[in-house]
């Protein structure tokens, strides 16, 4: 018998044993659990029965986010056809009623539901998915743009240096995702420009997401003195790249040596109280903290995992490399799902649209976790885009599937695996040339006046 077939048989035996001793649909059952249904009921606003009830509107909004055609017209058309096939009156295909229903949908309902699913997914994840028995969370920030309307510009101004009418409103998002299953636990949203919109400020809003015993991975921008203090006070460890301001003064000849280019150092409290911190908070902060600093693979890491006998620096190197998963998570949300450019024309609806995308992302992660559980694999090994495609195709039939068909669906999701390609390098360039149109360098109204007077210019060759 070949080594491959022996390994396959061993995996099947482990899967069978796992199914016999656990609830094989523990993740899928989250969607229909009493806890989640009670959460949905508690978040529903007072409403009368309409064609677009809050739950129906939420379902349509989610399908709209996961569809290639994200227009409201397409969503209304699908709803009309679904009602017609179910023997009900299809209603009108005008989009006004659906758009008004989306406005009535509470933002808190969508955001709380997103956090709730992420929290339950994390609670139900087996310990085997954790890093050395501990839960690891990834933090990072990104930006998205939205339609250039007066309301959006007032709430989320465009980037500095861009002429009025030529840029787009832009907002910043900082998210916390799980290393083990990819679920989004929480997110903070703010303006790109102005006070309170930087990534450090938004991350401070998410500190309550972390619990004692957790580990937080982040890039050098987050490894500030006061954030490390906050995490230590909560019993949370950090592994981050050393802050640029400190990296220039790193000298492994000093401090308490732990090994080659590995030592303990003492960080002292900044002498000036930050503008965002009250004087009382500043006085209550410790005057100094002891952290570990080590150089691995050309990177200088800072961590509160100070025991080198328990956590060798090579283990920290491998752990920090896994921080790249948060970049992939953000790419799935922005590019694979299409959140990169929002479509809503008011700030409140734009925020709601962001949380709808995050909710849809968590639902796909829920399906991936269920598939991983049934096939004895890790969620990170299963293709996100593959599962999104299967879910988008089969979402209208999911309620009619029996247990055997449902199991087959999850097995299909696990068939496409993501290859482990450490050190992969690809050029950030495109081969196909863009359309032969010049950039819009004046206001659109002024451009219309020019076209009316002189006509369209010749195409660029």
Contact (CB, 8 A) for 285 and 229? yes
pTM of the model: 0.86
Quick check: is 365 in a domain?
no
Q: Which tokens go with 411? A: 């097995």
CA dihedral 78, 84, 90, 96 (to 10 degrees): 0
Contacts of 251 by beta carbon, 8 Å cutoff, 6+ apart: none
Q: Which tokens go with 323? A: 């921080």
Quick check: is 252 in a domain?
yes
Tens place of pLDDT per residue across the chain (461 aa): 444 444 445 444 444 443 333 344 445 555 545 555 566 656 666 655 567 778 788 888 888 888 888 889 988 888 888 778 777 777 788 999 999 989 988 899 899 999 999 999 999 899 999 999 999 999 999 999 999 999 999 999 998 888 888 889 999 999 999 999 999 999 999 999 877 788 999 999 999 999 999 999 999 999 999 999 999 999 999 999 998 777 777 889 899 999 999 999 999 999 999 999 999 999 999 999 999 999 988 889 999 999 999 999 999 999 999 999 999 999 999 999 999 999 999 999 999 999 999 999 999 999 999 999 999 899 999 999 999 888 887 766 666 677 788 888 889 999 999 877 777 777 888 888 777 777 888 888 888 998 998 888 776 55
Q: What is the DSSP letter of 164?
A: T
Domain count, the chain: 1
Quick check: is 215 in a domain?
no
pLDDT of residue 380: 94
The distance from CA 196 to its chain's CA centroid, rounded to whole angstroms, is: 21
Q: Which tokens go with 200? A: 């450090």
pLDDT of residue 248: 72
Q: What is the DSSP letter of 138?
A: E
Quick check: is 290 in a domain?
yes
Q: 299-303 and 237-241: which strand pairing?
A: antiparallel
The parent domain of residue 257 ranges over 227-310
- Nearest alpha carbon to residue 301 among 256, 250, 230: 250
Got the DSSP string for 415-446?
Answer: TSBPP--TT----S--SSPPPS-----S-HHH
For 216, phi then psi, to 5°, come to -115, 130
Quick check: is 104 in a domain?
no
pLDDT of residue 83: 79
Contact (CB, 8 A) for 217 and 296? no
pLDDT of residue 5: 45
Quick check: is 266 in a domain?
yes
Contact (CB, 8 A) for 10 and 83? no
pLDDT of residue 18: 38
Quick check: is 265 in a domain?
yes
pLDDT of residue 234: 96
Contacts of 440 by beta carbon, 8 Å cutoff, 6+ apart: 166, 447
Quick check: is 231 in a domain?
yes
How many Cβ atoms sit within 10 Å of the Cβ of residue 83? 14
Sheet of 237-241, strand order: 184-191, 170-178, 136-145, 215-218, 237-241, 299-303, 288-296, 262-268, 256-259
């Amino acid at each position: 018998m070949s080594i491959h077939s022996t390994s396959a048989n061993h995996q099947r035996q482990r899967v069978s044993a796992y199914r016999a001793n656990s609830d094989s649909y523990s993740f899928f059952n989250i969607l229909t659990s009493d806890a989640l249904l009670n959460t949905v009921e508690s978040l529903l606003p007072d409403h009368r029965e309409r064609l677009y009830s809050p739950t129906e509107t939420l379902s349509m909004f989610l399908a709209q986010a996961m569809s290639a055609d994200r227009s409201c017209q397409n969503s209304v058309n699908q709803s009309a056809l679904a009602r017609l096939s179910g023997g009900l009156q299809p209603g009108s295909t005008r989009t006004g009623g659906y758009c008004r229903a989306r406005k009535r949908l509470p933002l808190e309902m969508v955001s709380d539901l997103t956090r709730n699913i992420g929290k339950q997914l994390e609670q139900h994840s087996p310990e085997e998915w954790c890093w050395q028995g501990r839960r690891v969370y990834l933090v990072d920030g990104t930006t998205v743009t939205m339609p250039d309307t007066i309301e959006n510009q007032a709430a989320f101004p465009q980037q500095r240096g861009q002429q009025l009418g030529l840029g787009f409103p832009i907002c910043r998002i900082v998210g916390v995702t799980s290393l083990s299953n990819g679920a989004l636990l929480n997110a903070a949203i703010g303006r790109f420009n102005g006070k309170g919109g930087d990534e450090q400020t938004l991350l401070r809003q998410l500190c309550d997401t972390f619990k004692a015993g957790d580990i937080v991975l982040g890039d050098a921008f987050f490894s500030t003195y006061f954030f490390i203090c906050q995490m230590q006070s909560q019993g949370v460890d950090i592994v981050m790249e050393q802050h640029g301001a400190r990296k220039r003064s790193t000298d492994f000849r000093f401090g308490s040596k732990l090994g080659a280019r590995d030592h303990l150092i003492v960080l002292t409290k900044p002498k000036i109280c930050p503008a965002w911190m009250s004087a009382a908070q500043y006085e209550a902060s410790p005057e100094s903290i002891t952290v570990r600093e080590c150089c691995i693979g050309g990177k200088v890491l800072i961590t509160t995992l100070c025991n080198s006998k328990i956590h060798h620096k090579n283990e920290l190197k491998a752990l920090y490399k896994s921080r790249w998963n948060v970049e992939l998570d953000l790419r799935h949300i922005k590019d694979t799902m299409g959140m990169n450019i929002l479509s809503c024309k008011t700030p409140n609806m734009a925020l709601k649209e962001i949380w709808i995308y995050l909710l849809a992302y968590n639902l796909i992660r829920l399906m991936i976790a269920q598939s991983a559980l049934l096939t004895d694999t890790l969620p990170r090994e299963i293709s996100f885009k593959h599962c999104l495609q299967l879910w988008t195709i089969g979402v209208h039939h999911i309620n009619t599937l029996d247990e055997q068909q449902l199991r087959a669906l999850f097995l299909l999701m696990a068939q496409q695996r993501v290859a482990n390609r450490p050190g992969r390098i690809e050029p950030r360039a495109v081969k196909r040339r863009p359309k032969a149109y010049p950039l819009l360098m004046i206001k659109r109204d002024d451009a219309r006046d020019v076209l009316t007077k002189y006509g369209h210019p010749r195409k660029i060759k």
